[in-house]
Structures are given as C-alpha cells and as structure tokens.
Structure 1
Amino acid sequence: MILLISDLHLEEERPDITRAFLHFLQTRAPQAEALYILGDFFEVWIGDDAMTPFQRSIAQALRTLSERGTRIYLMHGNRDFMLGKHFCRAAGCELLADPTVVSLQGERTLLMHGDSLCTRDEGYMRLRRLLRNPLTLVILRNLPLATRQKLARKLRNESRTQTRMKASDIIDVTPEEVVRAMREHRARRLIHGHTHRPAIHALELDGQPAQRIVLGDWDRQGWALQIDEQGFNQAPFELA
C-alpha cells in the first residue's frame, strides 16, 4: 500500500489538523510501504535554522514512522519551499524534486505540488520564479530571522487576499499546461495537490487515456489517496 497526501498546512493555530495527522501517522501510515507528502506540509517555513518546538515535534513523529519501516518522501509546496536537508534528516524522509516521475502499479506517474500548473495566474507565476531563483534562496536564507518572519507574514497575508479576489479558473490548473507537463515527462498519470479541489479527472493524451488525480487539502476534513491491490482510492475522513 502507498499513501499520498498534500496541503496539510500544519501550524500551531490548527491543533485539530495536527492531532489528526499524528493519529494518521500512528494508525494508518505504518501499514504503508511509502508515504508521499506533495507540498504545503507546513503553512509556512522560513528556514531549517528557525525550526520551532512544534515543527521539531512533527519531524520526530515522521522519524518514528520511518524507523517503523515506511519510506517517506516530501516535496516542496508554495508555502514551504524553503524546507531543507536538515529537516529531512531529522524527519527521516527524502526530499523530492518538483516534478518527479515514479512508478506506481507499473505506470509512469508524474508527481507535482501543482502550483506550477496554474499558468493563468501570471502574477503568482512571476513571484514563483523570483522566489525559487537559487540566488533569491541564498539571500532569503541569510536574512535575519526577524526579517524572514516579517516577510513570511506579508506574503501569507497578500496570498490570502489575492486568492479571494481572483476568478476560480485563474487559481486552478491550466489544462494545456497539464498536457504539456505530462507529455514532457512521458506520463499518462499525474498526481498533484495545491488547488484544494480533490477529484479524479479522465483525460486524453495523444489519443491515449490518461488521468489527473488532485489530492485534497486538510481543513474541514482530511484526505489521503491510497494505492493498493484494489486500485486508487481517495476518501475524506473526519479530523476529530
């Protein structure tokens, strides 16, 4: 069995999500060969050197799962793209590039966070290119902690305001970009998060059937995609 989740947005202000995730790690995840976390695991991450006790406790919980035999893979999201090797070592997980191709049930499967597919949101795409630039990352990591905290709050507030103002199709994936990415990586299955619109979409790619699976976010309920001998099944569950 393999499990995939994304968009937990873990933060101390949402203890209900944290409790649900820890319960998930203790009960369901140990049965899995691998757990993939496809971005926005934390609501905000300003650097491994600024880990809080809360974030360290999450790392320890992941390490406990890893030591029980479940492989853990973590991908950057737009909220936590500064997660680094120090956290991954502490958590016993492997950091995946975005995008990454893996084999799931013998099928080439493209894994992404999903924000890079939202090309109609031109303002966000410009900001994304700036923030992911290697030079920008070096500068950000060397800013004083207080400055990084202030910048993170500013970006977070602006993101929430702009998301409320944008049309729904602007903040969703661009169909043409989905096809382009799948074609580039020679994958007929794509799994991503980011849009908070859990669904399984049937597609046609170069005359062949294809599939796009959107992972659900953890807010009013939790979501996990389970892959086993029964196939692919994504279902919500109560956070309580």
Structure 2
Amino acid sequence: MILLISDLHLEEERPDISRAFLHFLETRASQAEALYILGDFFEVWIGDDAMTPFQHSIAEALRRLSERGTRIYLMHGNRDFMLGDGFCRAAGCTLLSDPSVVELCGERVLLMHGDSLCTRDESYMRLRRLLRNPFSLLVLRHLPLSTRRKLARKLRNESRTQTRMKATDIIDVTPELIPHVLAEHRVRTLIHGHTHRPATHELLVNGQPAQRIVLGDWDRQGWALQVDESGFHQSSFELG
C-alpha cells in the first residue's frame, strides 16, 4: 500500500491539522510502504535555517516513521518551495523534483504539485518563474531572517487577496494542457494537488483511457489517496 497526500499547510495556528497528521503517521502511514507528500506541506517555509520548534517536531515525527520502514517522499509546493536538504535529512525523507514519474504498484504515474498546470493565471506564472529561478533562490536564502519573514507575510497576504479576486477557472489547471503532459511523460495517470478540488477526472490520451487525480487539501477534513493492487482510492476523514 502506498499513500499520497498534499496541501496540509501545516502551521502552529492550526493545531487540529497537526494533531490529525501525527495521528495519520502513527496509524495509516505506519502500515504503508511509502508516503508521498506532494507540496504545500507547510503553510510557509522561509529556509531550513529558520526551522521553529514546531517544524522540528514535524520532522522528528517523519523520521520516526521512516525508521520504522516507510519510505517518505516530499515535493515542493508554492508555499514551501524553499524546503531543502536540511529538513529532508532531519525528517528522513527524499526530495522529489516537480514533475516526477514514479512506479506505484506496477504502474508508471506522473506526480506534480499542480501549480505549474494553472497556466491561465498569468500573473502567478510570472511570479513562479521569478521565485523558482536558481539565482532568485540563492538571493532569498541569503537574506536576513527578518527580511524573509516580512517577504513571506507579504506574498501570502497578496496570494490570498488575488485568489479571492480571480475567476474560479483562472486558478484551476488548464484542462487542454493535461493530455499533452500525460503524453509527454508517457503515462496514463497524473496525480497532483494545489487546487484543493479533490476529484478523479477521466480522459483520453491518444485514444487510450487516462486519469487525472486531484488530491484534497487538509482544512475542514483530511484527504489521502491509497494505491494498492485494487487501484486508486481517495477518501476523506475527520480532523478530530
């Protein structure tokens, strides 16, 4: 059994989500061969050198799971793209590039966070290209912590404001892009998060059946996708 989750947006201000995640690690995840976390694991991440006691406690919980035999893979999201090797060493997890093709229960599957698929949101895509540029990342990592905290607050507030103002279809993935992405990577299943719209979308790629599975976010409830010999099954659960 393999589990995939995304968009937990962990922060100290939401202890209900943190408690639910720790319980998830002790129960379902401890029975899994592997756990994939597809981005926006934390609400904000300004650098491995700025880890708080809360973030250290999450890393320690992941390491305990890893030491019990569950492989853990982590992908950057748009909120925590500065997560680095320091956190991964502390958490006993492997950082995946976005996108990545992996084999899940015998099937090649494409994993993405999902924000790069929202190409109709042109202002966000410009910001994404700027922030993910290697030179920009180098500059960001060397800014004083106080400056990084202010910048993170500014970006988060602007993101929330713009998301409320933009049309729903603008901040969702571009549907006509999906078949091309699947064909490019020679897979029939794409799994991603980011949009907070859990669903399975059936489609055709070169005349063959394919699917796009959108992972749910952890807010009013938690979501996890289970992959096993019987297929792909996503379900929600109460955070309490």
Asked whether the two chains share a fold, i.e. TM above 0.5, the reply is: yes
Instruction: For residue 23 of structure 2, give the secondary structure of its aligned residue in structure 1.
Output: helix
Q: Where does residue 127 of structure 1 map in the other structure? A: 127
Structure 2, unmatched stretches of 5+, are none
**Distance in 2 between residues matched to 1:46 and 1:164, nearest whole Å:** 24
Partner of 2:10: 10
For 1:214, the equivalent position in structure 2 comes to 214
TM-score, L = length of structure 2: 0.99
**Normalised TM-score (structure 1):** 0.99
What is aligned with 1:118? 118
Kindly state the Cα deviation for residue 75 of structure 1 after the two structures are TM-superposed.
0.1
Residue of structure 2 in register with 1:172 after alignment:
172
**Where does residue 43 of structure 1 map in the other structure?**
43
| Displacement of 1:232 | 1.1
Q: Which residue type is aligned with residue 56 of structure 1?
A: H
Tell me, in whole angstroms, the C-alpha distance in 1 between the residues paired with 2:105 and 2:87: 30
- Per the alignment, residue 144 of structure 2 pairs with 144
Question: Which residue of structure 2 lines up, in the alignment, with residue 158 of structure 1?
Answer: 158
Write out per-residue CA displacement over residues 12-40 of structure 1, whole angstroms, 9 at most, x where no aligned residue.
00000000000000111010000000000
What SS does structure 1 have at the residue aligned with 2:176?
A: helix
Q: Percent identity?
A: 82
Please report how far the alpha carbon of residue 180 of structure 1 lies from its aligned counterpart in structure 2 after TM superposition: 1.9
Distance in 2, matches of 1:116 and 1:7, equals 15
The count of aligned residue pairs is 240
Q: Distance in 1 between matches of 2:166 and 2:122?
A: 11
Residue 216 of structure 2 aligns to a residue whose secondary structure is coil
Q: Tell me which amino acid in the other structure corresponds to 1:90.
A: A
1:198 aligns with 2:198: yes
SS at match of 2:86: helix
By how many angstroms is 1:106 displaced? 2.0
Taking the aligned partners of 1:108 and 1:28, their CA distance within structure 2 comes to 23
Please state how far the C-alpha of 1:104 moved relative to its aligned partner: 1.6
Q: State the distance in 2 between where 1:46 and 1:104 align.
A: 32
Q: Would you identify which runs of 4 or more consecutive aligned residues in structure 1 move more than 3 Å?
A: none
Cα distance in 2, alignment partners of residues 103 and 67 from structure 1: 22
Could you tell me which runs of 5 or more consecutive residues in structure 1 were left unpaired when the two chains were aligned: none
Q: CA deviation at 1:107?
A: 1.9
* CA root-mean-square deviation: 0.6
More displaced, 90-99 or 228-237?
Answer: 228-237
Secondary structure of the 1:146 match is helix
Deviations along 1:181-201, one digit per CA (max 9) or x if unpaired, are 111111110000000000011
1:28 aligned partner, one-letter code: R
Instruction: Give CA-to-partner distance per residue, 1:74-101, whole Å, 9 cap, x none.
Output: 0000000000000000000000000000
Task: Look up the match of 1:102.
Answer: 102
| Paired AA for residue 147 in structure 2 | T
Partner of 1:88: 88
Q: Which amino acid aligns with 2:68?
A: R
Query: Deviation of residue 229 (structure 1)?
Result: 2.4
**Secondary structure of 1:175 counterpart:** coil
CA deviation after TM superposition for structure 1 residue 113, in Å: 0.1
One-letter code aligned to 1:164: R
Cα distance in 1 between the residues matched to 2:229 and 2:105: 9
